[in-house]
């Protein structure tokens, strides 16, 4: 019996690719697409437009081959070419990025970060976002120690008497916080002295300079809190991550381990929203 042969042009199936799981390595792909997107990644990482020579060198590709890819990328808007001949990302690249940012679910992204933060510090943590009545808790993670029952998802926090609120005061425009601030002034006697303009300016200045805000015993007697801002791709405030714990158990200093873990967590969530540290 004659031995069967493979049809011409078909290569033997390779079960895995070095460095990849077998299942992923077995998936078929279009190598030229992956190769071309080296150029897109190089443009994304560059701080300025690049010449064809610079771009092809960074991508490890011959200039002639890179030019062919760039012609196609220009046609679909992924790449734009300046009058000088240098290349940068095009308008469709921006549209793709903004589309992904609109789809981001803040609570979903924050949950694992908050859980890791609670595990690292032993304290409860939550993410608050701005609502029509002020900062509102949208997701939380419990720590090893209990926190006041009022601080649940959906709870709206005061601006002046909470570390969370002070982050919003410091990083949102006053026109956005003014109405909420006036309501606090009207209904709160204890916060009155802290609501005058001189006190507010001092709070805002400290929060901005330290990158953190801190309160102790203002909203809940016996509890301290630290809060850090979360920024979006445009540098605008997206929310605040806050740690809260008993005053006699939590290290609420600006330079302590809780503060360091908190800053890292806020930076990690900001990065998820496309923010890059200046």
- Token pair, residue 261, equals 């873990």
| Statement to judge: residues 231 and 187 lie in one domain | yes
Among residues 85, 100, 115, the one where a domain terminates is 100
43 and 58: one domain? yes
Asked whether residue 206 falls in the same domain as residue 228, the answer is yes
Instruction: Confirm if 267 and 229 have CB atoms less than 8 A apart.
Output: no
Asked if residue 171 and residue 46 are part of one domain, the reply reads no
Quick one: 116 and 205 in the same domain? yes
Q: What are the angstrom distances between the C-alpha of 191 and each of 7, 12, 183, 214? A: 82, 75, 11, 16
Kindly write down the DSSP assignment for every residue of 148-175, as one continuous string: -TT-STTPBPPSSSSHHHHHHHHHS-HH
In a domain, 59, yes or no: yes
Query: Among residues 40, 73, 100, which one ends one of the domains?
Result: 100
How many domains does the structure of the chain reveal?
2
Radius of gyration of the chain (CA): 26
Going across the sheet that includes 237-246, the strands are 134-141, 124-131, 237-246, 223-231, 213-216
89 & 111 share domain:
no
Q: What is the per-residue DSSP string for 206-223?
A: HHHHHS-EEEESSSSTTE
Helix (H) / strand (E) element for 51: namely: none
227 falls within a domain:
yes
Whether 277 is covered by a domain: the verdict is no
Asked whether residue 1 is assigned to any structural domain, the reply reads no
Q: Tens of pLDDT along the chain (278 residues)?
A: 444 443 333 333 333 333 334 444 456 767 888 888 999 999 988 878 899 999 999 999 999 999 999 999 999 999 999 989 999 988 888 777 656 655 558 888 999 999 999 999 999 999 999 987 889 898 999 998 878 777 888 888 999 999 999 999 999 999 999 988 888 887 764 455 567 788 889 999 999 999 999 999 888 889 999 999 999 988 999 999 999 999 998 999 999 999 999 999 999 999 998 898 77
The CA–CA distances, whole Å, from 20 to 17, 27, 32, 244 equal 6, 11, 19, 42
Q: In terms of domains, do 207 and 166 share one?
A: yes
* CA diameter of the chain: 99
Is residue 166 within 8 A of residue 213, CB to CB? The reply is: yes
- Compute how many other C-beta atoms are within 10 angstroms of the C-beta atom of residue 215: 24
- The enclosing domain of 92 has a CATH number of 1.10.10.10
Contact between residue 66 and residue 39 where contact means Cβ atoms under 8 Å apart? yes
Q: Do 140 and 265 lie in a common domain?
A: yes
- Residue 170 belongs to domain spanning: 105-272
DSSP H or E segment with residue 17: none
Residues 140-143: contacts with CB within 8 Å, 24+ apart? 140/114, 141/111, 141/114, 141/115, 141/117, 142/118, 143/118, 143/245
Same domain, 39 and 62: yes
Question: Is there a single domain that holds both residue 89 and residue 131?
Answer: no
Task: Pick the last residue of a domain from 82, 100, 118.
Answer: 100
């Amino acid at each position: 019996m004659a031995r069967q042969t493979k049809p011409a042009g078909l290569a033997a199936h390779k079960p895995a690719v070095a460095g990849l799981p077998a299942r992923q390595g077995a998936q078929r792909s279009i190598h030229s697409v992956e190769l071309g997107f080296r150029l897109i990644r190089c443009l994304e990482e560059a701080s300025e437009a690049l010449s064809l020579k610079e771009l092809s060198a960074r991508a490890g590709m011959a200039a002639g081959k890179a030019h062919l890819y760039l012609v196609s990328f220009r046609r679909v808007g992924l790449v734009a070419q300046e009058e000088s001949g240098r290349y940068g990302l095009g308008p469709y690249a921006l549209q793709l990025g903004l589309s992904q940012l609109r789809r981001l679910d803040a609570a979903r992204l924050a949950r694992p970060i908050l859980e890791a933060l609670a595990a690292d510090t032993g304290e409860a943590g939550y993410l608050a976002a701005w609502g029509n009545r002020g900062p509102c808790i949208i997701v939380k993670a419990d720590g090893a120690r209990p926190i006041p029952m009022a601080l649940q998802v959906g709870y709206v926090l005061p601006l002046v008497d909470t570390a969370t609120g002070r982050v919003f005061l410091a990083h949102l425009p006053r026109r956005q916080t003014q109405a909420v601030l006036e309501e606090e002034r009207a209904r709160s006697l204890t916060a009155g002295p802290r609501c005058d303009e001189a006190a507010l300016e001092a709070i805002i200045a400290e929060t901005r300079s330290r990158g953190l805000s801190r309160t102790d015993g203002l909203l809940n007697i016996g509890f301290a809190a630290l809060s850090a801002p979360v920024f979006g791709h445009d540098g605008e405030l997206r929310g605040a991550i806050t740690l809260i714990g008993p005053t006699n158990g939590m290290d609420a200093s600006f330079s302590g381990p809780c503060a360091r873990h908190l800053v890292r967590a806020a930076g990690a969530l900001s990065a998820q929203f496309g923010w890059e540290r200046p």
